[in-house]
């Protein structure tokens, strides 16, 4: 789990996009805390670079070659790119833009797991921890190449460790609700303590993880496309608290929207 300084990140406004056109010569963009996936350019014979794909852009900076990054790694990155600079004059042919990348932090990846509703949501997992928020709306929640990047809040000690899990009922793709005429589906985000803390000092931290939900999302997307719909919602359910008397989970949820992809 990659933990970020909550206050520091918030002061950076999490995702800040500034596009400026100064006359006709300047056209630059600066973005902070955006999800990306590591790719490569070129070949062994011509030489290759590590690139970060942020969805609409593929970017290169020398810093990527020294970060011990592998193809397929999921990252959170901050960068500035000047589209009108001389080094980007041939970006179309290269397939990427040169950028000033100031941050490229690798985040943990987890695969979606199957559950059966409602049986698998009635009891706590062993050593389960409550989550403060599954989706922190100040940050960019992004679905990129099959990975759902989620920024979540959890209260924990400095030396405590947790493992994250995301579940869905893979055998039942019927919507659980309809909101404003849009079908709504469910996933379940859960956190399990894997190392006990040595002290009692707690703090609320911001965690970003990448969850490989492609099979589930593709199935929903295909269903929604066949029905002629343009979008759908996914509720991310999470254990907000634990009932002190029954030791059962108390659920809450956050909602993310997803467009239907026609390709």
Number of domains present in the structure of the chain: 2
Domain check: are 116 and 199 in the same one?
A: yes
Contacts of 241 (CB under 8 A, 6+ apart): 130, 250
Q: Compute the residue count for the chain.
A: 263
Rounded to an integer, the average pLDDT of 10-35 is 57
At residue 4, the 3 state secondary structure works out as: strand
Domain check: are 33 and 65 in the same one?
A: yes
Quick one: how far is CA 39 from the chain centroid? 17
DSSP 66-125: GS---TT-EEEEEEEEETTSGGGTTHHHHTSEE-EEEEEEE-EEEE-EE--TTGGGSSPP
CATH number at residue 130: 2.60.40.3220
Quick one: how far is CA 224 from the chain centroid? 22
Phi then psi dihedrals of residue 218, to 5 deg:
-65, -40
Contact (Cβ atoms closer than 8 angstroms) between residue 211 and residue 107: no
Domain check: are 169 and 73 in the same one?
A: no
Weakest mean pLDDT among 9-23, 71-85, 131-145, 191-205:
9-23
Domain that holds residue 69: 2-106
Contact (Cβ atoms closer than 8 angstroms) between residue 162 and residue 193: yes
Each residue's pLDDT tens digit, 58-86: 999 999 988 889 999 999 999 999 999 99
Weakest mean pLDDT among 44-58, 178-192, 208-222:
44-58
Domain check: are 74 and 14 in the same one?
A: yes
Q: Examine the fold and report which residue of 81, 106, 131 is the final residue of a domain before the chain moves on.
A: 106
Domain check: are 50 and 120 in the same one?
A: no
Averaged pLDDT of the chain: 88
Domain check: are 82 and 169 in the same one?
A: no
Residue 43 buriedness (CB in 10 A; 0-12 / 13-18 / 19+):
exposed
- The pLDDT of residue 26 is 56
Q: Examine the fold and report which residue of 106, 127, 161 is the final residue of a domain before the chain moves on.
A: 106
Q: HSE (CB half, 13 Å, CA atoms) of 205?
A: 19
Q: Examine the fold and report which residue of 106, 134, 164 is the final residue of a domain before the chain moves on.
A: 106
For residue 210, the surrounding DSSP H or E stretch is strand 202-212
- The pLDDT of residue 1 is 65
Q: How confident is the model at residue 182 (pLDDT cuts 50, 70, 90)?
A: very high
Rounded to an integer, the average pLDDT of 121-145 is 93
Q: How confident is the model at residue 42 (pLDDT cuts 50, 70, 90)?
A: low
| CA 180/CA 178 separation, integer angstroms | 7
- The pLDDT of residue 8 is 38
Domain check: are 101 and 229 in the same one?
A: no
| Residue, of 109 and 200, whose pLDDT is higher | 109
| Residue, of 205 and 263, whose pLDDT is higher | 205
Q: Decide if pLDDT at 22 tops 70.
A: no
Rounded to an integer, the average pLDDT of 240-253 is 97
- The pLDDT of residue 43 is 53
């Amino acid at each position: 789990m990659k933990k970020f300084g909550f206050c520091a990140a918030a002061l950076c406004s999490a995702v800040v996009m500034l596009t400026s056109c100064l006359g006709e010569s300047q056209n630059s963009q600066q973005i902070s805390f955006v999800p990306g996936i590591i790719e490569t350019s070129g070949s062994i014979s011509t030489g290759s670079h590590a690139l970060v794909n942020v969805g609409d852009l593929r970017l290169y900076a020398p810093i990527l070659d020294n970060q011990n990054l592998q193809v397929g790694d999921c990252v959170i990155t901050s960068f500035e790119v000047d589209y009108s600079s001389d080094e980007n004059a041939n970006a179309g042919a290269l397939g990427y833009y040169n950028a000033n990348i100031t941050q490229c932090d690798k985040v943990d990846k987890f695969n979606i797991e199957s559950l059966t509703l409602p049986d698998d949501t009635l009891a706590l997992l062993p050593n389960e921890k409550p989550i403060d928020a599954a989706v922190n709306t100040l940050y960019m929640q992004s679905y990129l190449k099959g990975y759902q990047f989620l920024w979540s809040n959890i209260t924990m000690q400095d030396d405590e460790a947790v493992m994250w899990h995301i579940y869905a009922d893979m055998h039942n793709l019927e919507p659980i609700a309809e909101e404003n005429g849009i079908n709504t589906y469910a996933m379940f985000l859960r956190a399990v303590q894997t190392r006990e803390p040595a002290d009692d000092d707690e703090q609320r931290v911001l965690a970003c993880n990448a969850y490989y939900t492609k099979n589930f999302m593709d199935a929903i997307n295909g269903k929604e496309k066949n029905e002629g719909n343009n979008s759908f919602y996914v509720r991310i359910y999470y254990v907000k608290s634990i009932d002190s008397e029954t030791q059962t989970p108390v659920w809450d949820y956050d909602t993310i929207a997803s467009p239907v992809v026609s390709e």
